């Protein structure tokens, strides 16, 4: 799992509202940095890191919610929940496939091997469908809804990745 990005631009004299904006902007950039590797390279680790980044961002928004307009927080949380659920469907397939492959490695009987093989195929089809649904969803979230919702929280602060994650 990737380490969380450090929040830059903070000092002991930074106003709490400004600090909250930097935190949310950093967590968003961290999560978004894995987008390309997740979708173009189908990188399971990038998907996992993007999902962890989404959870960090969701928690940051939740913890700092009193600083931001409630309607904007609800909108951002809804978009992040939708994204997290979609990534979770893909990640669940990855975890289940790993477990099934460990069963295959334990020299199962012929009947068990056939059953496991069928489950692997079924799970891989489900992963492909779930990844396609995620890929279809991401442009609307990353190019529209989520940045708009988060921009209301960050006040327009953006953080650029520095050689980190899938897009850095």
Q: Give 162's pLDDT tier (boundaries 50, 70, 90).
A: low
Q: What are the CA-CA distances from residue 144 to residues 18, 72, 96, 139, 148 (Å)?
A: 23, 14, 32, 7, 6
Does the domain at 16-154 match CATH 2.60.410.10? Answer given as: no
6-50 per-position pLDDT tens digit: 998 899 999 999 999 999 999 999 998 998 888 888 888 999 999
- Residue 139's pLDDT is 80
Mean pLDDT of the 74-78 span: 90
Boundaries of every domain in the chain: 16-154
Q: Which two tokens stand for residue 78?
A: 């809804």
Q: Where are the alpha helices (DSSP H) in the chain?
A: 16-32, 35-39, 44-63, 70-104, 110-140, 146-154
CB count in 10 Å sphere of residue 112: 13
In this predicted structure, the answer to whether residue 140 has a pLDDT above a threshold of 80 is no
81-135 per-position pLDDT tens digit: 999 999 999 999 999 999 999 999 999 999 999 999 999 999 999 999 999 999 8
In this predicted structure, the answer to whether residue 164 has a pLDDT above a threshold of 50 is no
Is the pTM higher than 0.85? The answer reads no
């Amino acid at each position: 799992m990737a380490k969380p990005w450090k929040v830059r631009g903070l000092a002991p004299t930074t106003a709490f509202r400004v600090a909250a904006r930097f935190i949310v902007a950093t967590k968003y950039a961290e999560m978004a940095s894995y987008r390309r590797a997740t979708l173009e390279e189908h990188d399971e680790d990038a998907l996992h890191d993007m999902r962890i980044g989404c959870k960090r961002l969701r928690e940051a928004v939740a913890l700092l919610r009193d600083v931001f307009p409630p309607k904007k927080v609800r909108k951002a949380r809804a978009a992040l929940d939708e994204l997290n659920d979609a990534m979770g469907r893909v990640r669940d397939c990855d975890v289940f496939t790993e477990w099934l492959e460990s069963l295959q490695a334990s020299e199962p009987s012929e009947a068990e091997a056939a059953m496991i093989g069928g489950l692997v195929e079924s799970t891989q089809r489900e992963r492909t469908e779930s990844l396609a649904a995620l890929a279809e969803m991401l442009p609307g979230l990353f190019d529209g809804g989520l940045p708009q919702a988060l921009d209301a929280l960050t006040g327009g602060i953006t953080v650029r990745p520095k050689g980190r994650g899938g897009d850095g």
